[in-house]
Copies of this chain bind each other. A is one copy, B any other.
Amino acid sequence: MADRVVVLGTWNSMFSNRVRIALLEKGVEYEYKEEDLLNKSLLLLESNPIHKKIPVLIHNERPICESLIIVQYIDETWNKTSPLMPGDPYERANLRFWGDFIDKKIFDCGTRLVWKSKGEDRDEAKKEFIESLMILEGELGQKTYFGGESFGYVDVALISFGCWFKAYEKTGKFSVEEECPKLMAWVRRCMERESVAKVLPDSGKICEFIDAVKKRFGVE
């Protein structure tokens, strides 16, 4: 029986885009279902009854939740091609550490920067966001990808934010290129991959989306 693989997500979510990029890297065909988060599908509510959040990967009727857990599941399940994680336990732990860092710092500070803060709070979020990017720039160093020569777990975890960078720059009035040139070169390198190019929306569309939501809710 052929595998049946379904992804529940939204086009602008860095979390569901991680899942789709990982599947494309593995050459796994999947059906993508765009969710309306203001009117969640019964399938989403039944597949993730605890958090009721996207993304969900449904593999042969069995749901898996939480984006980095899904990426690890994809790597362990389709383990014959394009490994996203190395076999060495120490290297694996190190990649998991950076995946966790991205979720805790880049997502959190980026969200505060774009949506939740004004004035001094926004300045603080911007400062923390740039500091976090610089830490990642240091970790990347002279490597092609975070794991070394091949595109892997941390690259999947972070590149899904790539199409949000323009929005972060616009809100915070800074340039990722100026602050972190190596990281920006890595973004461009990743964007050339078919998996990434196919999945990530245009940066301009993310900015339009943010402007539309802010206008709708009367946020400055």
Interfacial chain B residues near A59, Cβ < 8 Å: 90
Interface residue stretch chosen among A71-79, A118-126, A176-184, A198-206: A71-79
- A199 → chain B, closest Cβ, in Å? 21
Determine whether the beta carbon of B96 is less than 8 Å from that of A66: yes
Count residues of A near B (Cβ-Cβ below 8 Å): 22
Determine whether the beta carbon of B100 is less than 8 Å from that of A69: yes
Assembly CA distance A196 to B186 (angstroms): 45
- A72 → chain B, closest Cβ, in Å? 7
Total copies of this chain within the assembly: 2
Assembly CA distance A76 to B86 (angstroms): 12
Chain A residues packing against B (C-beta within 8 Å): 50, 59, 62, 64-66, 69-70, 72-73, 76-77, 89-90, 92-94, 96-97, 100-101, 135
Known: A73-B92, A77-B89. 19 other contacts (CB 8 A): A50-B101, A50-B135, A59-B90, A64-B93, A64-B97, A65-B97, A66-B96, A66-B97, A66-B100, A69-B93, A69-B96, A69-B97, A69-B100, A72-B92, A72-B93, A72-B96, A73-B89, A73-B93, A76-B89
What are 18 A-B contacts defined by CB distance under 8 Å?
A50-B101, A50-B135, A62-B90, A64-B90, A64-B93, A65-B97, A66-B96, A69-B96, A69-B97, A72-B92, A72-B93, A73-B89, A73-B90, A73-B92, A73-B93, A76-B92, A77-B89, A77-B90
